[in-house]
Structure 1
Amino acid sequence: MIKRSIVFLLLLLSVLGSVSAETPTIPETCTTTNFYVVLTDTSMTTELTTAQLGAMDFGLSAPSISGVENNWIYFSSKSDLARFCSIISYSSPTMPFSGAFSVYVDGHFSPMTVIKLNAATTGSYTSNIITNASNSQMIYVYSQTSNSLYAGETLGNNGVQFFYVSGGSTAAQLTQFDELVALTNNNNISYYVHGGGSDRYARIMSTIVYFDYVDYSTTGTMSLNAVELYSPPEQGNVSIYSDADTQIYEGTYLLGTTDNGGLLDVQLPMGKHTLKFVKDGYWDVLKTVTVSAENNSEIYVSMAPRNAIFQVEKEFSGNIYPNSVASLSMDVTPVKTAYATKLRVSGVELSKVYYNTQELPKAADGSYIIGDISSTQQIVIDFKTTSSWGERAFTVELSATDIEGTTYTNLETINYNVLELPFLFETPDTWAIGVNDVILTDMSGESYSVLMVLYDESGTEKWSSSTNLLEYCDYTFEVPIEDAGEYTLELNAKSGTVKSYYSIEIIEPVSLVSDFLTAASGNVATVQFKISNPTESVKYYTAELTCPFFNNTVDKTFSIAPGTVEKTVDISFEVPEGLELEYYQLTLEVFNEGDTDPIYSGNVVLTISSSSLFLASVPGGNPTLIIIAAAVLLIAGTFAALGLKK
C-alpha cells in the first residue's frame, strides 16, 4: 500500500513481554501549550472529554496532558502529543477518539501519518518499511509484544528492534515509546524480530507517527501488516491570492508557492489557520483564514516590499458601474509603528476619504493627513468612476517615517473593473427647466426594478419614481425640474446592486434686465430680458407678456443662434390712456417652441408716470432721475445757445 511521503531514519523500541496499565492524569487547571489536538466533535464539554480520557488504558506509556478545555486537549511536549496520536495499547489497538481530531504542532496545524504494524514469527526475520521521504525528520514509535509461550521467559533481544538499512548497520534497541531522528535523506526503517526458535512465538504490535504526509510500503521475509490508522479531518478548499512566487507556510510546513498569477489552491482542515507569507525582498505577513465546508475560502494578501512600512489589503464594496461612486476599503497594517502618515491619491476624482469612519479634509498640498499608526487601521476612499466601462486603475501613495526618521513609501496600484450597465440610458441633449424625458432600455434580458431619484445640490430629494423594467423593453421617466441649479440623478437597479449617478446643471435661461419699468400713458414701454442658448443648434422661443389692462397677451417669437450667451430681447407695448392706477404688475413667460410649460416666468412692476418725456418709457426709469436728466439737458441747451450768440 502506498501513502504520501517524507523521510527520516531510525530505530525503535523493544517491547516488554508483559502488559501494564497506564492512564493519563488530567489536571484540574488547564495549562495551554503549543502542542494540542482539536476533537472533531465540537459538542464535547471539558467534563465529557476528561471522562473519556480517564477511561483510556495506554498500556506501557501514557501521554502527559497539561489541560483540557472542551474539545481541545493540550500536551506537555511534542513527544506526548505523538504518544496520544499512536495506538492506545496492545489490548486496544485503536487511536484515541478513533482518530477524529486535528493535530497542531508549535501552535499550527500539522499533517500527520500514523501506521500500525502487526508481526508474528517463531524465528528471526527482518522486514522493511520503505518510504519515499524528501528530507530528514523526527519520527515517534510505540511497541508492545505478547507474552512468551514459556512462563517467566522473555523474547530474545526484547522481541523487537529497529535499525538503519542505509547509513549504517548499528541496531538501536529501545523500550516502550521513543523518538528517533533520521541522519540522512532516503533512509528506510528495518524491522527485526527475533522469535527465539520454532517453539517460541513472538507477536508484536507497533505504531509509527510522522508529523507529515509520508508514502510507504513494506517488504521482507517476515509477514508485516501495515495499516494506516489516521484519516485526515474533513478539509475545505482555500484559494490564496498574493504576489507571484510567494511561499505560504503554516507553522514550518510549506503549503506551496503561488504561481505566476499569484494564485495557490490548497486544502486545509475545517477551522482557523494562521498562514505565513514569505517572499524575498518583502516583509513576512501573517494572515488568519477560516475554512468551512459550505463555501470555498478565499484569502488576499498583498506583499509589502522592504522599502514600504505598511502591509495593505484592498477590497471594493460591490460591483462598480459607470457614473457611480465606488468605495475602496484598505486595511493598513504597519510593519512597525509609522509616524506622520500621509495619503495621496492620483488618477481618479475623489469624492470622500474616511479614516476610522471619520471624514478627512484635504490639506493645502492635496494630501490627507492620517498621523501615527501603530496597529491595523481602515481607510475608505470613495471615488467617482468614469462614464464608460472597462479596466481602470489609479494610484494610492502612503508615506510615513519610523522612530529613527527613516522615510518609507507604499505605492499601491489600484486596478478595478467598471462593468457595463445592464440597461441603455438615454437623456435629453440639454436638460432644462420643465419635464425632461429619460429613457431606460434593458440590455441584459432580465426583468428588475429600477428606482430613479433627483436630488438638489444640498442633497434634498426633489423627485422620485420607480418601475419594473421588463427584459429588452424600454421605459420613459419624466423628470421634472422646477428651478435652475445643480442636481444629481441617482439610478438604483436590481435591488440596489447596480447604482449610477448623473450630474445635471440647469443654468437660468432667462433673466430680466430690470424688475421695474416706468412709462407715461400713451407712450411705448419696453420690457427687456436676457436669454442664452448653450446648445449646438438654433433654438426657437415665444415670449408672452401679460398686462392687466390688456385682454390679450403681448407675444413675440424669436430665435437664438447656437452658443449664444445672454442675448437681450425686447418686448414692447403702448401704455393705454386713462389708466386709473399708478402701479401695475406685468407677467413675462418664455416658452420653448411648441411647449405649453414655460421655461421662465417672472414679474415686472410698471409705474405710470405723469411726465410725457420720452425718457419715461426707459425700462427701470425713475421719475426723479428723469426730471433731473431733463433739467440737465435744458441747462446744457441754454449754455449752447448763449455760446452761439457770442
Structure 2
Amino acid sequence: MKKAGVLLALLMLFSLISFTGKQVSAIDGEVIRVVFELSESYDIQKALSVLNQTNSTYQYDETTWVILDGQNVIIASTDMWDLFKEPSNSAVDSSEWKADSIASQILQKFIDGGVVSADAYYRRVVVQTSFITNAKYVYIVHYFIKNAQKREFIIKLAYPRVFWRMYAFTAWDHGQTVVNIYDYLTEDNTVSREYYYKGTGKPHHTREGEVLVNTWQSYIQNKSVAVYTETAEHYVDDSWMHFRLVFFSNEDYSTGIEGINGHTGVASTEIIKIEYEPIKYNVKFSIKDALTGQGLSEVKVKEGDAVIGTIDDGGILKLPKGVHNLTFEKSGYWSVQKTVDVQGDTSVTVEMYPSSAAFIFKDFPSNISIPENTIYTLSFTISPIDTSGTYNTYLTISGLSDILEVRKNGQLISPESGKYYLGDIGGDTQISIKFKAGSVGTHSFTVTLTSNDAIASKTYTTSKQVVYKVEPLPFSIQFPSEWQVGANELRISESSGQSYLITVILRDKNGTEVWSDSHAFGPYEAYTFQVNVPSEGFYTLELQWNGQVAVFDIQVNPAITLLIQTITAREGDIATVQVKIRNPSSETKYYTIVLEGPIIEGNVSKSVSVAPLSEKTVDLAFQVPNDLTYDAYDLTLKVLEGDSVQFQDTVHLIIDNSGSGFSFPIGEGSDTWLWVGVGVFVLLLFIAALRRR
C-alpha cells in the first residue's frame, strides 16, 4: 500500500510533464497500453539479460505484453480492462493495479541488475489507446463497505464503457448484495445485481462486468452516470463488499467524488488517477512549391481553428489515430486543405501554389519513365484555384521539339504562333500532350498557363516543369547500314530476359501501312525481319510491344541517280550523260545502262559493276546528229540489273547552235571541260607556230 501511495503521488506530480518516449509499434491485437517513462535511459540488451528475455517485446501472460524501448517500460494488453484489475492475491479494493505491479517489479530488477541507478523512478505514467480521443484520465475507484452500507455517486464519462468488479460476503441466507449503474438523468437501470443465498453454503461471491453506456438512448461525451452499491444487512456476522470501478473521464476527481441522496461519496484516497492520451503516430509532411518542386518552410498547420504546428518540408507532427481535416497556410501561397487518415506512422505530400498562379495541376504523373523513341501522352487536369482569374487561357510548351498533338477534354487544339488557346476555364479540364521521346537520358520541358481576370487587368502565370527519363529499349536493334528499295535486314535482340510479341510496321509519309510483320520473342532471343521497302522516299518504322510504340524515321535514298537532268549540246557534238550508282549490299552488283531516243539510232549502252558498299559515277557519251529538226529532245535512260529495270528517268537534250561557226563538239557533262582544255591547248600551239615564222 505504501508503494502504491508513492506511485500515486508521482503520478500527480508529473501529470504535466511532456511525454518524450519513442513511438513503439502495437502488438497484434493490442487494445490498450500503459507507458511508464523512466527518469533515465537504459541499455535494452542489458535489460533483456537481467529479465532473462531475448526480445525487446515479450509476452508476460495470456493477454499482457512487455515492450522495452530504452526509455520506457510499456505494458500492453489485448484486454481493455485487465491492466487495471488488482494483481493476483490482492483484494478487489486494493490500491495496486496489474500494469503498475508489473512495471514496479521490472524497475526493481533494473536497479538490482545495474541497468539503471538506485535513484531511478518512473517520472510519468500514461495510458494510451488508438480509439479513445477525448479523455484526459483513467480512474480506478476502489473501496470497502460492510453491514448494509451504501455508496452512491455520480461520474462523468468520456468513453461509453465502464468496468466494475466486486467480491462480497453475505452472512445471512437471504442477504442481498447490490451493484447498480444507471443513467443519472433518466434513472434507467443498466446493471442491477441482487444475489440471494438461501442455504447454498456459498456466502462468498465474485462478480464483474462491462457496462456499455451508449445503449442508453444516445451517448454523448461527459454523460453523467450514477453508481450505487450496497451490502447485505448483518444478523450474526458482518456482511461486506470489496468494489472496484474503472472508467475514462475528462473530470479531475483528485479531491474525491461526492455522493448523492445522502449516501457517502468516494474519498480521494480511494481513487487512482492516471493520465491518458491517445496513441499518436508520426506523420511526416513533404511540403513543396507545386510549380518548382522546392521545399517550403514555416508552413502553419491548422485543424479547425486551432494551430497544431508550424513545420518545414520534411517536418513531423504527432497525430492520434483517425481522420484529420488539416489546413496549410503560408504567406504568398494559396492555402491548402487536405484530409489525412492516420492509422499509423505515415507520410503526407502537400503541394502549395503561389498566389500568382490561377490553376492547380491535378493527377500530374511523377517519375515519368519512357522507352527511347516511343510516343508518350502526358495527361493531367488543370483546376481553377479561383475562376475569377482563368479567362482567356493559353497553354505554352517550351523545351519540347517533337510535339505531335495537344488536346483539351479530348478535342484537338491547333497551335497559334506556338501557343494553344484553351479559352475560359470554369472547372476541371483535362489536357493531354502527345510527344515523341528522344535519346536515352533525363530531359525536361515546361508547361505554362497564362490567363487573365474578366477585364484583362491582371495576368496570372502558372508554370510546371516536366522532368522525364528516357530509358533504353528492352531490346537492341541493328538497322541496315543504308536503307534501300527492296528487302532490308532489321535484326532485333531481346535483352531484358522477358517474353513478348514485337510487331514491326512500315508506314509511308501519309501514315499508310506498306509492310508489317510480327515475332514472339523469348528471353534473349534474336530475330531478323526482312523489311520490304516498295520505293524511294521517307518512311516511319514502328515497333509495337506491350502497349508501347517506338518510332523511327527512315529515308530510302535512290540507289541510282541521274546527276544532270538537262544537258546542252551543238549538232555534231559528243554529249555525255552521268549516272551515279550506289551498292549498299554486301554483294557485287552488275548493271547495264541504256540510253534511247529519237535522235539515237538504236541505243547507246554500257555495262558496269559496282563493288559492295561502294558507289560509282558512270559517263555515257553519245553523238548528237547534224541537221536536226527541233532544238530540244527527250531521251530515256534505263539502268537494268539482268533483265529487270532498276531505274528509269528522262534526259532533256537542248540543241544550241548559236555563236560563230567554229565550235567544239561538247555537251554538258564531265567531258565538257576536257574538250575546252584541248581547244585551248591547240590554240596555244597555233600561236606559237606563227611566232616562229
* 2:416 corresponds to 1:363: yes
Measured against aligned partners, the alpha-carbon deviations of 1:541-599 in whole angstroms (never above 9, x if no partner) come to 6433479999998522358999x9xx974446899xxxxxxx999783467xxxx9989
- Structure 1 counterpart of 2:486, which letter? G
Separation of aligned partners in 1, 2:317 and 2:438: 33
* 2:232 corresponds to 1:146: no
Alignment of 1:132-531 (within 5 A): 140-146=222-228, 190=254, 192-194=256-258, 221-223=269-271, 242-243=287-288, 244-245=295-296, 260=313, 276-286=327-337, 302-313=351-362, 314-315=364-365, 319-337=369-387, 338-349=390-401, 350-364=403-417, 366-388=418-440, 390-403=441-454, 405-493=457-545, 495-496=546-547, 498-512=548-562, 528=577, 530-531=579-580
| Shift, 1:510, TM fit | 3.5
Contact 2:300 2:310 in 1 (8 A): yes
- Structure 2 counterpart of 1:192, which letter? G
Separation of aligned partners in 1, 2:391 and 2:215: 52
Shift of the 238–437 alpha-carbon distance from structure 1 to 2, 3 Å rule, reads farther
Single out whichever of 465-474 and 505-514 deviates more from structure 2: 505-514
SS of 1:375's equivalent in the other structure is: coil
Shift of the 242–356 alpha-carbon distance from structure 1 to 2, 3 Å rule, reads farther
Q: CA RMSD in A?
A: 6.1
Measured against aligned partners, the alpha-carbon deviations of 1:597-633 in whole angstroms (never above 9, x if no partner) come to 98943366xxxxxxxxxxxxxx545xxx86xx77x79
Separation of aligned partners in 2, 1:459 and 1:292: 54
5+ long unaligned stretches in structure 2: 1-33, 35-126, 140-150, 155-180, 193-209, 234-248, 289-294, 625-632, 664-693
The normalised TM-score by structure 1 is: 0.52
Shift of the 358–9 alpha-carbon distance from structure 1 to 2, 3 Å rule, reads same
| Shift, 1:90, TM fit | 5.9
Contact 2:300 2:309 in 1 (8 A): yes
Which structure has more RCO (C-alpha within 8 Å, separation ≥ 6)? 1
| Shift, 1:330, TM fit | 2.5
- Structure 2 counterpart of 1:434, which letter? G
| Shift, 1:283, TM fit | 0.9
| Shift, 1:451, TM fit | 1.9
2:648 match: 602
5+ long unaligned stretches in structure 1: 20-56, 63-86, 104-113, 115-138, 152-177, 181-187, 205-219, 518-522, 576-582, 605-618, 638-646
Measured against aligned partners, the alpha-carbon deviations of 1:326-345 in whole angstroms (never above 9, x if no partner) come to 22223212221211212111
SS of 1:403's equivalent in the other structure is: coil
Contact 2:574 2:623 in 1 (8 A): yes
Separation of aligned partners in 2, 1:525 and 1:267: 101
Measured against aligned partners, the alpha-carbon deviations of 1:123-181 in whole angstroms (never above 9, x if no partner) come to xxxxxxxxxxxxxxxx7343222377899xxxxxxxxxxxxxxxxxxxxxxxxxx998x
| Shift, 1:499, TM fit | 3.3
Measured against aligned partners, the alpha-carbon deviations of 1:44-85 in whole angstroms (never above 9, x if no partner) come to xxxxxxxxxxxxx994569xxxxxxxxxxxxxxxxxxxxxxx
Taking only the aligned residue pairs, the percentage that are identical comes to 26
Please identify the structure whose Cα radius of gyration is greater: 2
2:591 match: 543
Q: Tell me the number of residue pairs that the alignment of Structure 1 and Structure 2 aligns.
A: 437
Contact 2:635 2:652 in 1 (8 A): no
2:97 match: none
Separation of aligned partners in 2, 1:228 and 1:442: 63
| Shift, 1:251, TM fit | 5.2
| Shift, 1:458, TM fit | 1.7
Alignment of 1:85-124 (within 5 A): 93-94=211-212, 96=214
| Shift, 1:369, TM fit | 1.6
Separation of aligned partners in 2, 1:306 and 1:403: 17
| Shift, 1:284, TM fit | 1.8
| Shift, 1:304, TM fit | 0.9
1:37 match: none
Alignment of 1:544-583 (within 5 A): 544-545=592-593, 554-557=606-609, 569-571=618-620
Contact 1:257 1:264 in 2 (8 A): no
